[in-house]
Structure 1
């Protein structure tokens, strides 16, 4: 971009640079002292972002930053340090990259962190320092435990007192730490399509939990403590190889805790259950051999993360329509004024 009048837009508050072929970010970017929102998805097609300009921390009013889909493989240390100096930053989107190591420093004002669709195998120890965090999105990574591999996060995760939305779908989780109960503000917890075999009884300590999605795991029973929660939605589909029927009280042989089980369910996990397709098949009398005709598929109920995305898309569309209407209205007023003057 270079030295251009573009950087004289000192009152700029929102900046979108998505879908470009930017080679670097010049230091003049700091001229936008009033900038609050900056998004540059898919903006570095021919060059990878290796560092932010030294003047970047001067954007002290920045509250929303999206570095989405720019093929980042790691978050350079310089970027991590720069981000930690943005004390008003509330939303950070690093999703849809190739990040395998996350170093974000301490951002005490951060409310929403999205690192979904990367290659993370664990979450950093510093995560416990994000004391204001309400939304943590880490779906579609390679995380196999919370937090084996970084040890102390078992204690730190319980410090996220304000966390309300935790999405860890489609990872490789085999267990959940009991400290998850320390997230006392947790409303929505999604861990679908992992490898969980049990839910810690301490989940009941997350007393504000209303939506719990554990579908597509390997659960054989549920903790009795789950019944103390005021759940409004509970997804248990595609866990056992047979449907869940009547539950009885029993003792988990591994933990010794009370659990809810079904004696009619085989204790052996069947991987085929993960590949089940719910469908109603109508056979055509005129074509008995064509199994693909007349099939009515049962679509899955959208889960909270998908509903949130759908809601945001609708809101953006509504804003665009309102802006278009306002523009048309202004044009009509100008045309009417011109006609009146001419007469």
Structure 2
């Protein structure tokens, strides 16, 4: 597609030749060297950029994503007006030092190339605000990465980085830092200097702890530390008052600090696959929480203050050692999914009947003899009582217990039978 825009009697040309099965840059492109400012050649089979390509001196936006380019020539230095350069998903193994002459660059995407080392001169691109280095092959970031003082987004996911340079904490206007899927073991103590940070993505590393300076990140909205080796959180986590998402799945946590209850804006808390034995009663302070995932921990009970989580719509506490559920669960009137499978529950509180928005109740793999009669008041779409259950719901029938007073609901799947491994353990 060829676009011409007339602005103040000045012709600006933009060319989009993406997805055209091109094996080379079309010759007609070079005829536009006096006016071409935007060029999109994404998703072709282009293997090289010939010398005449670098006569397109007016280029501001250049996208070459998803091609077969193996080499970025040093002539890139001619394109001094480039503001955006997208080289994602090629076969480029080396970035020339001459990249430093592209001083107008605002956005540079080198992701998904076999680049093993960044040029030293990359930190001279002081106008960079977006730098994407995902899925290349680097083992380190430049020591002077902090020189990129205008950087707001730094992504270096899926690399082999083990140690972070101290200067990374000098990126004081950084808003998004994505270092997931590396080999990082330790975070710098001065991480709290990144005062504008909103997203901190560090999943799938080998991090054991967060620095206490995390508490200074008052603008932080999202932390992803899933699949690390975190054993505890600092009390200062409670000072990150704008936090909405806290993802801590697959770590080594045994408890949460009581200060967690100060996170009044927290919407999502994922703590699955840890070693947590007890949830602090202060969790009731998470008045904005909508999703709480506690799957695969060592919990024997939930605090009654869970009933204060009035906005929660999803509670998953599968694969714990829960013997009961607090009656206050009935106050979580926005719950739509309640999953408690593979615990040691022998009864559910009657207050569960207050959960008028509940659509899914999963209590497979417990020790329930019956369900409270109040479950009949619910309009649930699925009640799961057994792994062998063929349909999401079964016909529940009222029954009076031997005391002659208590009414319950039962069916052919109740009472639940203990699992084979539970029987062998008796």
CA displacement, residues 323-343 of structure 1 (integer Å, 9 cap, x when unaligned): xxxxxxxxxxxxxxxxxxxxx
Question: Distance in 2 between the 1:60 and 1:74 partners?
Answer: 20
TM-score (norm 1): 0.64
CA separation of 1:23 and 1:212: change in aligned 2, threshold 3 A: closer
- What are the residue-to-residue correspondences of 1:1-343 with 2, within 5 Å? 1-4=72-75, 6-44=76-114, 48-49=116-117, 51-54=118-121, 56-75=122-141, 79-81=142-144, 83-103=145-165, 104-146=168-210, 153-154=211-212, 156-230=213-287, 231-240=289-298, 241-243=320-322, 245-247=324-326, 280-281=387-388
Q: Which runs of 5+ in 1 are unaligned?
A: 147-152, 250-262, 266-275, 284-343
TM-score (norm 2): 0.52
Q: 1:185 to 1:282 in 2, by over 3 A?
A: closer
- Cα deviation per residue 1:49-70 (whole Å; 9 max; x = unaligned)? 0x4233x344222111011222
Q: Distance in 1 between matches of 2:327 and 2:278?
A: 10
Residues 240 and 263 in structure 2, CA contact (< 8 A), matched pair in contact too: yes
Q: Give the distance between the partners of 1:24 and 1:16, measured in 2 at CA.
A: 15
| CA separation of 1:19 and 1:244: change in aligned 2, threshold 3 A | farther
Higher helix share: 1
Question: 1:151-191 CA distances to partner (integer Å, 9 max, x unpaired)?
Answer: xx22x111111111000001111211111111111111010
Pair 1:196–1:107, CA change in 2 (3 A):
same
Q: Deviations over 1:230-280 (max 9, x none)?
A: 11211112223334632499xxxxxxxxxxxxx968xxxxxxxxxx9x994
Cα deviation for residue 23 of structure 1 reads 4.4
Flag structure 2 segments of 5+ consecutive residues without an equivalent.
1-71, 299-319, 329-342, 346-364, 366-383, 391-426
Larger radius of gyration: 2
- What is the Cα deviation at residue 17 of structure 1? 2.0
State the Cα RMSD in Å.
2.7
| Deviation per residue, 1:267-304 (Å, 9 max, x gap) | xxxxxxxxx9x994468xxxxxxxxxxxxxxxxxxxxx
Number of residue pairs the alignment of both structures matches: 243
Contact 2:185 2:208 in 1 (8 A): yes
Structure 1 pair 137–244 and aligned structure 2 pair: CA distance change class (3 A): farther
Q: CA deviation at 1:214?
A: 0.8
